[in-house]
Structure 1
């Protein structure tokens, strides 16, 4: 999977302008491959450092999610179950890295997103509402180990 901090994109764009860099660059991250399970573990670590209650990832069947009307990506960020999307979050960033793209640690990005989430209004922009999540958890046959 891939994600990048907007500040890393901005820094790369400014550097590109200042150094007259031209061309197409896949400005994605992180630098090294990461799984959804790895990202969730990083989220747990950042939250724990801030004294927040521990969240436990819950893994379930993709078919269960589809059968319950979840929309890939919108209801579950980073979830794209269809085979035609398999390569979407696996784009090479080698050219951008060689040109100077730098990635802050994922923990820094997670902390910034957490700060934003704490201070923003609580309406759901993307993802599941708390009520919908609770209903799915009640109805799911879940497992606590990643199936990814």
Structure 2
């Protein structure tokens, strides 16, 4: 994850999102190939996901070394997530945050529940069976 070294891993980020929202999400790490097999639209159907390859590698190869050398101080990711969740769940927060997306209507470019279930089913089928 771009930012100050050791600020957070993707796992830390996602765990903090679940905690800050009092969510009940069960985080499941899915192999990229399953997303590709199910024609997941990068970045829109699955935010912050790009298929592996040289073109997408640059998206995650950013460096903040110059900003840190110039005095940038990064707050902990968990603090940002906590404060963002508090804003989002405050009266009017969700409306303000997502107002620009309301025009998508029925064609909102996020994973449908059916597609998500198909991906999870495919993932489960690839897992070793325990006895």
Are 1:112 and 2:83 an aligned pair? yes
Q: Which residue of 2 aligns with 1:82?
A: 52
Q: Which residue of 2 aligns with 1:40?
A: 14
Alignment of 1:1-148 (within 5 A): 1-2=1-2, 29=3, 31-33=4-6, 34-47=8-21, 52-84=22-54, 85-118=56-89, 119-121=93-95, 127-130=110-113, 132-137=115-120, 139-142=121-124
Q: More helix by proportion, 1 or 2? A: 2
Relative to the length of structure 1, the TM-score reads 0.59
Aligned partners of 2:45 and 2:111 also within 8 Å? yes
State the Cα distance separating 1:135 from its structure 2 match: 4.6
Q: Which residue of 2 aligns with 1:7?
A: none
Residues paired across the two proteins, number = 112
State the Cα distance separating 1:97 from its structure 2 match: 1.0
Aligned partners of 1:60 and 1:140 also within 8 Å? no
State the Cα distance separating 1:57 from its structure 2 match: 0.6
Gap change, CA 1:126 and 1:37, over 3 Å in 2: farther
CA distances 1:31-85 after superposition (whole Å, capped 9, x unpaired)? 12443222112223323xxxx2432111222121112121122222221223212
State the Cα distance separating 1:116 from its structure 2 match: 4.6
Runs of at least 5 residues in structure 1 that lack an aligned partner in the other structure: 3-28
Runs of at least 5 residues in structure 2 that lack an aligned partner in the other structure: none
Gap change, CA 1:66 and 1:103, over 3 Å in 2: same
CA distance, structure 1, for counterparts of residue 109 and residue 84 of structure 2: 14
Aligned partners of 2:43 and 2:49 also within 8 Å? yes
Aligned partners of 1:73 and 1:80 also within 8 Å? yes
